Every structure is written in C-alpha cells, then in structure tokens.
Amino acid sequence: MGVPISQMWTVASYIVKQKLRGNKHYPLVLMLEPLFRCNLACAGCGKIQYPAHILKRVLTPEQCWKAADECGAPMVSIPGGEPLLHPQIVEIVEGLVARKKYVYCCTNALLLKEKLEAGWFKPSKYLTFSVHMDGSEEHHDFAVCREGTFKTAVEGIRLAVKMGFRVTTNTTLFEGANAVAVREFFDEMMALGVEGMMVSPGYAYPKAPDQKGFMQERQKTQSFFKTLMSNRKKSWKFNQSPMFIEFLMGKREFECTPWGMPTYNIFGWQKPCYLLQDGYVDTFKELIDATEWERYGRASGNKACQQCMVHCGYETSANDYTFGSIKGMFATVKALLNTTYADKDAEKALAEERTKPHGPVVQLGISAPKKAEELVGAK
C-alpha cells in the first residue's frame, strides 16, 4: 500500500462525514497553483504558455492559506509552474502543514537537491514531494524537452528519501507510451525508495502547445493501462486509489467529480476543473454554488469531457466509491489483496509490445543544471 494508514484514515473519515451531512459537492484535494512560472518548458504543459507579466505573478502565503481554509479539503496538491521557484514556498507549506493538511508539493525536482541542502523544509508526515517523472531517462528527458532532467531529479529524490521526506512520483502518460518501458521505470522508481507512484493519462487541454501527444481515445487509454497495470509486480506501490487504477484499466466506470479537486490560482477559483477554464470566481462557495456542474462530465455530453480520464476528474469519484458504500469498501479491500491482477491477454499484449520499436530519438538541446542556474539567477 502506497498511502500511510493515518492519511487513509483522515480521508476516509472526512468522506464519511461529508456523506452523513448529505454534501454531494465536497472537495477532497485543493489544487493550489501559487505560480505558473517554471524552469522547464514541457511540450504538453498548458501552464507556462501565459504571457510574461502573468508568469511573474505569485500567490502570497496568506492567499494560499485562505484558499485552504475556505475549501477545507484534507489534502493540498501544489502543482504549478514549479513550486520551488516561489520565494515563499517554505512558508506556504509550513502554514498548510500547521493546518494538518496533507501537502503534495509537485516538483520537477530540478532544484530539489539544492533547496534541501540549503535547509528548506522539514520532514513531516504531512509533507510529500511528488516528483514529476514521465518515464525512464530517455522518455522523461524527451517528454520534458530537455536532456539531463531525469538524472537531476533522481539526485533530488535520493537526497529527499535519505533525509526522511515522503517522496512519490507522478507520471503523465502520453500517446505512444510503451508499457514495457513504463514497467521498467516503475522498478527503477521503487528501487530509489519512493513511497509510491501516481499515474494518469494526459489530457489535451486547449492551452497545451502539443495537442497530438495526448491519449485521446478512452478505449486506447484503457487498453494501454490494462497492459501496463495487469500482472503487476508486488514491489510496486501506488499512491492513489486502487479503484481509480481499475477505472483506467477499464474494469469499472465512474462519472467525473470535478468539484473534488478544485483549483485556486492567481486568477481565483477556476471553473469547473483543473483542466478546463470556463471562468473564475472569488470564493470557494461561489465556485460550488455558481458552477453548472451538470454541464460537465461524460454524461453531460460535453465534448471536452468525452475522452477525459485524468486523475483530477476521477480520483475523487474513485475515493467516493470506496468510502461511500459497503460495496466500494469491499471492492477496494479486494483490490488491495489482489495486487497482481493476473491477466493472460495483457501478458500477450505486453509480449507484443516488446517486439515493437519504441523510444524517442531526438537530440535535446540544453543541459538541465545550466538552465536551472540561469533561472535561479534570473529570479
């Protein structure tokens, strides 16, 4: 199991309380984006496309804490941009930890080693570094469009694990991903001592410059995840809902719960989810009360939602299923016991994958340390 019992208990009791109160639109994870600036420029990123004056702006610690207090979710994920470029990120994280929020600081880890050596952050059960890794070295460097990033991130992970921090990886899988290579990558990450891994298919949202690389067809996504996640090794740990993984594998169906991971950034509360931008409101209450939730999710017929299977839409649905019914609880316990998911068809598909040529072969330009230094210097 990739999630500590204390965190699972917090999440379970929170969901049960929401159910008892009859609160359908409850938040589970606040997606807090304190800045959009980054020291990478990944082809699939929709955040770094903003003009320079927007990329310069940051949320203050007070704004971040107010958002966390307003929404009340037990977990806070801090994506970006790159949170370690925020000059007050330590203060922001400490304030959230003091509120007993389970914080996932989502970083590309280019600066992780340097910042930990400089004394930033203290290990806590409430703080996890969720390191953006898009596969093993060649695939990761290709996906983030820069050579050397994998090695730098691995150094950061090693040091964070050694210092006693909770560390997970988060991996977005794109069209053309090779299940064989991703499985080798899982071995590699577990060998580094990470607590667990998170995976999600990419979603082609309108701001991302490379629209072709995303897994757009549900069936394709399900078949890929079935090949990837069946016949699992016992050593692999996932820091996400087993029901969400079964959903990705096409073993169960959920409807999207976009309110489960509300997004707050320099523009305010984003409607309706982390991916789509149908306007902003000033308060969390307005987000919940004024969003026409029936216009989103697969059942709504909304075109933008038809192929979407990303974690920010469905992980809360999966957790809601687990902790909201006896059936869900039973299915989850069964999933936790049956960790291998033996499947002959998936084994065959994997064997076929092995015979296919795969792998990016482009030469990527700038070295990671050099670019990181440039950006730190430019701060």
Comparison of 178 and 257: residue with beta carbon closer to ligand SF4: 257
Q: Does 101 bind ligand SF4 (CB under 6 A)?
A: no
At 245, which helix (H) or strand (E)? helix 242-248
Q: Which CB, 28 or 308, lies closer to ligand SF4?
A: 308
Cis check: omega of the bond before 357, within 30 degrees of 0: no
Comparing CB distances to ligand SF4, the nearer of 198 and 346 is: 198
Within residues 199-228, the interface with ligand SF4 by CB under 6 A covers: none
Asked whether position 153 contacts ligand SF4 by CB under 6 A, the answer is no
Q: Which of 8, 12, 41, 90 binds ligand SF4 (CB under 6 A)?
A: 41
Single-letter amino acid, residue 21: R
| Positions 301 through 360 that interact with ligand SF4 (CB under 6 A) | 304-305, 308, 310, 312-313
Would you state the structure tokens that stand for residue 309, as one six-digit string?
């299977």
Give the residue carrying structure tokens 């691995």.
154
Minimum Å gap between C-beta 33 and ligand SF4 is 9
Size of the site for ligand SF4 (CB under 6 A): 27
Does 262 sit near ligand SF4 (CB under 6 A)? no
Q: Is residue 156 within the footprint of ligand SF4 (CB under 6 A)?
A: no
How many angstroms separate the most distant Cα atoms in the chain? 56
Q: Give the integer Cα–Cα distance in Å for 17 and 216.
A: 36
Cβ-proximal residue to ligand SF4, closest one = 313
Q: What is the DSSP letter of 58?
A: B
Q: Does 189 bind ligand SF4 (CB under 6 A)?
A: no
Place of tokens 């209450």: 285
C-beta separation of 113 from 149 below 8 A: no
From the list 244, 179, 253, 243, the residue with the least C-alpha distance to 219 is: 253
Kindly report the backbone phi and psi dihedral angles of residue 194, in degrees, each rounded to the nearest multiple of 5, phi listed first: -70, 155
Binding residues for ligand SF4, rule: CB under 6 A, are 38, 40-42, 45, 47-48, 80-82, 108, 132, 144, 256, 258, 272-273, 275-276, 296-297, 304-305, 308, 310, 312-313
